[in-house]
Amino acid sequence: MLDIKFVRENPDIVKENIRKKFQDDKLPLVDEVIALDEKRRSTQVRADELRANRNSLSKEIGNLMAHGKKEEGMALREQVTAQAKELEKIEKENAKVTERVTQIMMILPNIIDPSVPIGKDDSENVEIEKFGDPVVPEYEIPYHTDIMASFNGIDLDAAGRVAGSGFYYLMGDIARLHSAILTYARDFMIDRGFTYYIPPFMIRSAVVEGVMSFAEMDAMMYKIEGEDLYLIGTSEHSMIGKFIDTFTNEEDLPQTLTSYSPCFRKEKGAHGIEERGVYRIHQFEKQEMIVVCKPEDSKMWFDKLWQNTVDFFRTLDIPVRTLECCSGDLADLKVKSIDVEAWSPRQKKYFEVGSCSNLSDAQARRLRIRIKGENGNYFAHTLNNTVVAPPRMLIAFLENNLQADGSVNIPKPLRVYMGGKDNLVPTK
């Protein structure tokens, strides 16, 4: 969320940012919120005058009554009553204005970083760098669920009967591989100095509104009926929420955290052949990384975070590339985002396996996450990035490690988590 003072003093910058994000329907909101803020501030001056005058008159009434000047005192009381009614009216109007100002400020997009490429949607994202050599083997790479089925490792039919589409049962070596990847990701991040967390898997609406835009909330979140609770779509939600209404000393920054959680998503609008299987689902598990830091350090941490994901995938011999998200593909709270995509030998293209985001102080303003500094308090910067999110990551892993005979090689870092196995042999 932007600072209203910034909007008031820089309306042209705010409007140009809206145009860069191709959200021209929000342009009138800038003038509206500035006008409402001006009205609120001017009426607040009058309200303060009335409160001060009330206190002064009350003392004067007391003096008049004490000296037997009842009529003069009663006249002043009528004046106090009239001013009290005026004050009550102003306060009610200001409450409505403040509510509308907040509504607008919550949907105005954050100011994007100058380095962000301008584009309407993800088709205009820009490739930055490739890591590892993408290979297309001479033998055919089956669809990922067929690979899993060859190890008797997945049951979508039973999951459909139990929970509907978008769910799965993983079994045997495939289930173990899924857990091994997550456990390795946990240890990988701990070795890089991050503190491991298992957070709440449900959060209150105040946290939801603080960590994401309304559009994201509607498209992603599952509401618990009858309670002020939502299932998390990623552990970033509850991990950033951990800092709500807090002050952190500068010397205690940065806070570098890595968290495991299941994730639950509606996945509205999912479509296409790659939505089959376990590519896009309503329930999955993920290892996440989160940083809360001083504003001047957020750019440095942004580069460290996406590099962590690249390094993780490369230790498993999976080629990846980084992709800069264009302005139209950025969620409203983000100032900059880089996707990490893994190579798919079957599709002969890359697909997303993680996303790294710098949200500057947007979440911190909404959740009142502040830093105690030598020269006063200020808002923190927050960042997040995916370490790994199986079972989607399983697609990249299985395709890139599948051999001509149908077996799957286990890279050295995973073997300790797979009981020492160096490969998996299909059962059928």
Count of domains observed in the chain: 2
Does position 269 have pLDDT exceeding 70, yes or no? no
Q: Are residues 131 and 167 in the same domain?
A: yes
Does position 55 have pLDDT exceeding 50, yes or no? yes
Least confidently predicted of 17-21, 76-80, 103-107, 297-301: 76-80
Q: Per-residue pLDDT tens for 57-77? A: 666 666 666 667 777 767 776
Whole-number pLDDT of residue 298: 97
Which of 107, 140, 164 corresponds to the end of one domain? Answer: 107
Q: Are residues 258 and 289 in the same domain?
A: yes
Which of 82, 107, 132 corresponds to the end of one domain? Answer: 107
Q: Are residues 158 and 74 in the same domain?
A: no
Mean pLDDT of the chain: 92
Q: Is residue 115 part of a domain?
A: no
CA distance 221 to 201: 12
Q: Per-residue pLDDT tens for 243-266? A: 999 999 999 999 999 999 999 999
Q: Per-residue pLDDT tens for 360-397? A: 999 999 999 999 998 899 999 999 999 999 888 999 99
User: Taking the C-alpha atoms of 145, 351, 388 and 411 in order, what is their torsion angle to the nearest 10 degrees?
Assistant: 70
CA distance 214 to 371: 26
Helix, strand, coil percentages in the chain from 3-state DSSP, rounded to 5? 50, 20, 30
Q: What is the average per-residue pLDDT within 117-122?
A: 97
Q: Are residues 97 and 128 in the same domain?
A: no
Does position 5 have pLDDT exceeding 80, yes or no? yes
CA atoms within 13 A on the CB side of 399: 27
Residue 286 vs residue 83, higher pLDDT: 286
CATH of the domain at 288: 3.30.930.10
Whole-number pLDDT of residue 272: 46
Q: Is residue 113 part of a domain?
A: no
Q: Is residue 201 part of a domain?
A: yes
Q: What are phi and psi of 344, to 5 degrees?
A: -115, 105
Q: Are residues 80 and 127 in the same domain?
A: no
Q: Is residue 117 part of a domain?
A: no
Q: What is the average per-residue pLDDT within 98-115?
A: 96
Q: Is residue 180 part of a domain?
A: yes
What's the pTM value of the predicted model, to 2 decimals?
A: 0.89
Q: Is residue 223 part of a domain?
A: yes
CB 342 within 8 A of CB 313: yes
CA distance 44 to 9: 19
Q: Are residues 83 and 202 in the same domain?
A: no
pLDDT interval class at 220 (50, 70, 90)? confident
Whole-number pLDDT of residue 273: 40
Q: Are residues 285 and 236 in the same domain?
A: yes
Q: Are residues 169 and 207 in the same domain?
A: yes
CA distance 144 to 277: 7
Q: Is residue 112 part of a domain?
A: no
pLDDT interval class at 86 (50, 70, 90)? confident
Cβ-count burial 116-143 (b if 16+ within 10 Å, e if not)? beebeeeeebeeeeebbebeeeeeebbb
CA distance 382 to 240: 8
Q: Are residues 302 and 256 in the same domain?
A: yes
Could you list the residue range(s) of the whole structural domain that residue 14 is in? 4-107
CA distance 142 to 378: 53
Q: Are residues 302 and 171 in the same domain?
A: yes
Among the residues of 21-155, which ranges form H helices?
A: 27-66, 70-107, 144-150
Q: Per-residue pLDDT tens for 130-189? A: 999 999 999 999 999 999 999 999 999 999 999 998 899 999 999 999 999 999 999 999
Whole-number pLDDT of residue 73: 64
Q: Are residues 192 and 254 in the same domain?
A: yes
Q: Are residues 216 and 73 in the same domain?
A: no
Q: Is residue 68 part of a domain?
A: yes
CATH of the domain at 43: 1.10.287.40
| Residue of 282, 358, 320, 385 whose CA lies nearest to 128 | 320
Which of 107, 142, 164 corresponds to the end of one domain? Answer: 107
